Amino acid sequence: MTTLNVVPIYEQNSSDIVAMLRQSADSIESETDEVDKTVAEVFLQVTESGEVIVYGWGDVHSKWHTIGILHSAIAELV
């Protein structure tokens, strides 16, 4: 069974979206565990007007796969 880790990245610069994305990229780049490497990331962008844009990188072959990842995240948070 696959486990899901939702990692809130609350830090001093959490309002700096670019810095937080860079932190995520740096974290992935520094991974050394050959068995448990990051294979996909899904991000939600929410604009001031309320528009939600979904980004999926890595092993996300379709919108359905992305929806599955998001659903797993929701289930983990509940």
38-78 pLDDT per residue, tens: 888 888 888 889 999 888 888 888 888 888 888 888 888 77
The pTM of the whole model exceeds 0.95: no
> Can you tell me the distance from the alpha carbon of 76 to that of 70, in angstroms, rounded to the nearest whole number?
10
For residue 61, give the H/E element and its range: none
What is the Cα gyration radius of the chain? Answer: 14
Enumerate the β-bridge partners of residue 53. Answer: 45
Indicate the pLDDT class of residue 4, thresholds 50, 70 and 90: low
* pLDDT, position 6: 63
9-47 pLDDT per residue, tens: 556 666 788 888 888 899 889 988 777 888 888 888 888
Question: Greatest CA span in the chain, whole angstroms?
Answer: 41
